[in-house]
Structure 1
Amino acid sequence: MNKKTAIIDIGSNTVRLVIYKYDDEGTLHELANMKKVARLRSYIEEDGVMNAQGVEVLKELLLQYKQILADFDVPHVYAAATAAVRQATNHEEIVWTMQEETGIELKVLTEEQEAYFGFMAVAYSLATSSAITIDMGGGSTEITLFENKVLQHTHSFPFGTVSLKQKFIAGDKMTDSERKALIAYVKEQFESLPWIVDRHLPIIGIGGSARNVAQIQQQRIKYPLSGVHQYEMTKQEMDDLAQFLWPLTFEELNQLEGLSSDRADIILPALDVFRTLMDVVHTGAFQFSKKGLREGIIINQILQESPDAYNKYDVFHEHSRRLAASFGRSEAEQQHVDYLVTTLYRQTCEEFGLVRMERELEMIRGAAPLYHIGEFIEQDAASQHTFYLIANQSIPGIKHRERLRMALIASYKNRGQLEQLLVRYQDWLSKDEIKEVRMLGSVLKFIHALNISKRQIIQDVVLKNLEDVVEITFTTTQLAAAESYAAERQKKHIERVFKKPVTLVFQ
């Protein structure tokens, strides 16, 4: 049964409404995503009170969003207020006013809750097992440390992009002296946390400022894959980007591809904060997560209803399975193909005396349920559609290079087409990796033929490496005319892998 829910994320810089639909298995679809720049942090006076103008801005936004929720017929909304409302000394009055005048109940998140929900989003959507996260909003910055997907430490700093700008920057653009003062302040703050100093762990950036950094870099280098989730930049790339942005005027920043106009005046301070954190942590890797507070709240809600809905230790295979199901691959079909892939791979290693490569096996198992999902759109162009669907879709649990390899394996048709697809990805894969793609793609093409009728009739597989031939015997539960015909046509692909003739026996 499909359910609808919505999150209103009331931040210091923006107020965003996201509407989701999800089913009993936890498959999550985003139906709508709208934001308004409110800069609520700027309405907090020196005495800590959010003034009447700021309260009115928030009220009008919530009334607009309430009408949109009615249009989408959303029965449940979770309105999460973070630093701007939390830090306002009159936050209880703000909550009461919104309840009375809009009917929307604000949940003012504690610093610990805000950090926890960010961690939840990362843990259940990235494969990275241990890392430090940074969620930099307009009025606060949450830092967490997790090891083996278990949260170890959280901390919230009372500064964000908007408050740092108010504190250190007089105009739209930083001066040299303002920049030095900002970096020195942030460095001192980060070094006050002994559990992040010199940890040598990757940093994961959450939130709009982090996403904008990734988008600017991707536009700048003409990055051929879509999406920022699980994109990664080195320290050198972060430094080079800062050097590229520094001379630009405010007007030039406003026109920059990939940068939201409402962040033109705060993107450089945000980037300097990220770079400073990398120096303190002593790391060369900065990863980006498109998932954040809102997704963490939704995941937490779904897990309360269905504790087994998500597995943070097997993120990719879980989402691969759901993606395949959305293109018509049944659970039974996926399990059967996985059995064929695993059995043939392991028996090949045993018969040919090869060292079993678990990474190789995981790669082909991950691609197997997605093999030629493009046939759902058009049979004749299944390969091209498959590549596009996987390469241009943010699949949680795998990095971008792995996603490219997955797309190439799952769409494999022949060597010529593989070379055509690789034209845009020069130097992404080594010769050995391209060879591996051809090999795994060939095996999947053959295995796809073994379930051509989608009846899951192969019960047992025995592979023997004889002197002059490889013999594969399939025991089936029914007559396998379709499978036998399709497999005979495709066995040339595995003959190239084995470098031997292959005899197929169906009994």
Structure 2
Amino acid sequence: MSKSYYAIIDVGSNTMRLVIYLREKGGRLREIENVKAVARLRNHLKKDNRLSEEGIRTLLTTLTSFKEVAQSYQLEEMVCVATATIRQATNQEEITEKVSDHTGFDMRILSEHEEAYYGYLAVVNSTPLTEGITVDIGGGSTEVTYFKDRELVEAYSFPFGALTLQQDFFKKELPTEDEMSNLRQYLMEQFNTLPWLQKRKVPLVGIGGGARNLVQIDQNLKEYPLAGLHQYKMKDSDLSFVKNYLFTLPMKKLQKVEGLSKDRADIILPATEVFHSLYDVSQSSGFILSRKGLRDGVFYEQLTRDMGTNLFPNVLEESIQELVTDYDLSVKQINHVQHLSNELFHQLHEKGIGGLRKKDWQEVKRASYVFNLGDYIDSEASSQHTFYLLANRTIDGLMHMERLRLALLASFKNKTLFKQFLHPYKKWFLKDERKKLRLLGALLKFCYCLDSTRRQTVENLELEVDGDDLNMTLYCKGEWMPEEYQAEKQKKHLEKSLKKSINLSFVEK
């Protein structure tokens, strides 16, 4: 199958980027190259809002280098978009003509609404959120949106960004306490001009480089054990702590902060204040990073243009299907194990065994899609590979804690390995939660044993309670000896979790 590559160039006020995507077997786009240039075009806007000759030269030089990189791929499509600085430039016609003449790129200048819309589109197509406020702070503008039921309700673009705030409020590279206080007051006043931002009490979703750096700093300060930035959540106290920590540092130390790009050291404080002020105005329920932003939104629109809607029906289902495809998992086996797991789970639930709740089934069902996917790499260390892959791979539609729970269930092999995987995160769970996860993992593993030869030999099962014993009758077609051997061998994990003996009877249906 020939590989399909797509590219986008994002001409921002602070940075310019070229991103190359590979379209996967499942149809999703995976970023394979990301080239960044800190052009700071905003600094080349004159008082009359003309982009200077030097600014145009910087733009053309950077685009030419991007073009050379892009030419090493056979691209299906190349898109070049520009945001606030080019949008605000009074000589934008001259700029687009020179870009076309020098590079052949048809540079599309996004309107304020389009810039906000693409950020929103990226968030609702890559996170589980159905309601929230998005904020994307660039060098020269800040876009905010409010969405509900995954539909865009409001959008607005403020004419200030991290660069302009730094220039307008700070006399030197780093602010004084009074300057930070004045900046906060200004931002609170600006955000309060939009009634739809006030007291929403919904998640605040940060997009872009400033939000990404903020999260990286927080993760490094906490020595956060999970990989990945997308869908990472911070609280009000986390935002305050990071902001106060950065404020105390001189520029030399600020430039060496783990997680902070050196080229953003002078603008991270205004960016952080934007997030913190908006968090307070909206009385947010949490600050969540979306690693997907404007560039992704542009391509989501392209991918969905034949669907009649720009929204993927179910973000998580798309991600799970991507995993199934990537690791060549058997859909037939998944469906059968789901059927057996469903029967066993609900019979235990109906009989009041194991303290199972109906919502626990959703976790078991989700994990059944990707159980033991590490077998794709090495069957002997399948459990370890399964846990590592799921815990450290971004899964659109799953927050970090949900992803960790999925990894623990799908990698279950025995109590020892479960405790080993859980150890770095033990404080994240109550004792009862840990017990429940172990039980659900043991249940799922047992049901996989019932289809160990992938022949769907065990068609269904029936459970009866006899004091401290569970009598399980398994109705089969054909020869069931391999399944019986595996089930007898592995049932001990389920017995320990349920604190009951399990007697298995395999019978012909």
Shift of 1:5: 0.7
Equivalent position of 1:39 in the other structure: 40
Shift of 1:414: 1.6
Do 1:187 and 1:277's aligned partners in 2 also have CA atoms closer than 8 Å?
A: yes
Equivalent position of 1:482 in the other structure: 482
Shift of 1:386: 1.3
Task: Provide the secondary structure at the position in 2 that maps to 1:152.
Answer: strand
**2:197 matched to 1:196?**
yes
Matches within 5 A, 1:125-136: 125-136=126-137
Equivalent position of 1:123 in the other structure: 124
Aligned letter for 1:436? K
Alignment partners' CA distance in 1, 2:118 and 2:507: 53
Shift of 1:466: 4.8
Equivalent position of 1:261 in the other structure: 262
Shift of 1:451: 2.2
Q: Deviations over 1:351-407 (max 9, x none)?
A: 447886243111111111222211211112111111111111111112212222221
Shift of 1:495: 2.6
Alignment partners' CA distance in 1, 2:309 and 2:458: 30
Aligned letter for 2:330? S
Shift of 1:117: 1.1
Equivalent position of 1:155 in the other structure: 156
Task: Provide the secondary structure at the position in 1 that maps to 2:105.
Answer: coil
Alignment partners' CA distance in 2, 1:111 and 1:335: 46
Do 1:4 and 1:75's aligned partners in 2 also have CA atoms closer than 8 Å?
A: yes
Alignment partners' CA distance in 1, 2:343 and 2:112: 49
Equivalent position of 2:97 in the other structure: 96
Distance change (3 Å), C-alpha of 1:506 and 1:80: farther
Equivalent position of 1:62 in the other structure: 63
Alignment partners' CA distance in 1, 2:40 and 2:150: 33
Distance change (3 Å), C-alpha of 1:11 and 1:505: same
Task: Provide the secondary structure at the position in 1 that maps to 2:197.
Answer: coil
Equivalent position of 2:337 in the other structure: 337
Equivalent position of 1:295 in the other structure: 296
Distance change (3 Å), C-alpha of 1:450 and 1:383: same
Alignment partners' CA distance in 1, 2:484 and 2:170: 72
Could you tell me which runs of 5 or more consecutive residues in structure 2 were left unpaired when the two chains were aligned. Answer: none
Alignment partners' CA distance in 1, 2:312 and 2:355: 29
Shift of 1:291: 0.9
Equivalent position of 1:30 in the other structure: 31
Do 1:469 and 1:503's aligned partners in 2 also have CA atoms closer than 8 Å?
A: no
Give the TM-score normalised by structure 1: 0.95
Shift of 1:477: 5.0
Q: Deviations over 1:108-138 (max 9, x none)?
A: 1111111111111111111122111101111
Shift of 1:69: 1.2
Q: Deviations over 1:202-244 (max 9, x none)?
A: 1010111001000001111111111111111110111111111
Shift of 1:431: 0.2
Aligned letter for 1:152? V
Q: Deviations over 1:112-170 (max 9, x none)?
A: 11111111111111112211110111111110111121211111111111111122222
Equivalent position of 2:326 in the other structure: 326
Shift of 1:458: 4.2
Task: Provide the secondary structure at the position in 2 that maps to 1:451.
Answer: coil
Alignment partners' CA distance in 2, 1:7 and 1:46: 30
Do 1:26 and 1:309's aligned partners in 2 also have CA atoms closer than 8 Å?
A: no
Q: Deviations over 1:227-275 (max 9, x none)?
A: 1111111101111111111110111111111000110000011111111
Could you tell me which runs of 5 or more consecutive residues in structure 1 were left unpaired when the two chains were aligned. Answer: none
Equivalent position of 1:460 in the other structure: 460
Equivalent position of 2:54 in the other structure: 53
Give the TM-score normalised by structure 2: 0.94
Aligned letter for 2:393? Q
Do 1:145 and 1:154's aligned partners in 2 also have CA atoms closer than 8 Å?
A: yes
Aligned letter for 1:441? G
Alignment partners' CA distance in 2, 1:477 and 1:206: 54
Task: Provide the secondary structure at the position in 2 that maps to 1:394.
Answer: coil
Alignment partners' CA distance in 2, 1:325 and 1:343: 26
Distance change (3 Å), C-alpha of 1:304 and 1:334: farther
Matches within 5 A, 1:146-295: 146-295=147-296
Task: Provide the secondary structure at the position in 1 that maps to 2:428.
Answer: coil
Task: Provide the secondary structure at the position in 2 that maps to 1:427.
Answer: helix
CA RMSD of aligned residues (A): 2.0
Comparing 101-110 with 281-290, which one deviates more in the overlay?
281-290
Shift of 1:494: 2.4
Comparing 268-277 with 302-311, which one deviates more in the overlay?
302-311
Task: Provide the secondary structure at the position in 2 that maps to 1:58.
Answer: helix
Equivalent position of 1:444 in the other structure: 444
Task: Provide the secondary structure at the position in 2 that maps to 1:7.
Answer: strand
Distance change (3 Å), C-alpha of 1:343 and 1:301: farther
Alignment partners' CA distance in 2, 1:111 and 1:442: 52
Shift of 1:323: 1.2
Equivalent position of 1:71 in the other structure: 72
Alignment partners' CA distance in 2, 1:455 and 1:31: 38
Shift of 1:176: 2.1
Alignment partners' CA distance in 2, 1:458 and 1:53: 73
Q: Deviations over 1:483-502 (max 9, x none)?
A: 23222221222233441323
**2:316 matched to 1:316?**
yes
Task: Provide the secondary structure at the position in 1 that maps to 2:87.
Answer: helix
**2:418 matched to 1:430?**
no
Aligned letter for 1:424? P
Do 1:484 and 1:506's aligned partners in 2 also have CA atoms closer than 8 Å?
A: no
Shift of 1:465: 3.5
Aligned letter for 1:494? L
Comparing 354-363 with 483-492, which one deviates more in the overlay?
354-363
Do 1:463 and 1:473's aligned partners in 2 also have CA atoms closer than 8 Å?
A: yes
Do 1:25 and 1:309's aligned partners in 2 also have CA atoms closer than 8 Å?
A: no
Do 1:127 and 1:398's aligned partners in 2 also have CA atoms closer than 8 Å?
A: yes
Distance change (3 Å), C-alpha of 1:335 and 1:90: farther
Equivalent position of 1:366 in the other structure: 366
Identity %: 39
Task: Provide the secondary structure at the position in 1 that maps to 2:171.
Answer: coil
Alignment partners' CA distance in 1, 2:120 and 2:338: 31
Distance change (3 Å), C-alpha of 1:311 and 1:349: farther
Shift of 1:470: 3.0
Distance change (3 Å), C-alpha of 1:22 and 1:189: same
Distance change (3 Å), C-alpha of 1:50 and 1:317: same
Comparing 94-103 with 1-10, which one deviates more in the overlay?
1-10
Equivalent position of 1:415 in the other structure: 415
Do 1:352 and 1:465's aligned partners in 2 also have CA atoms closer than 8 Å?
A: no
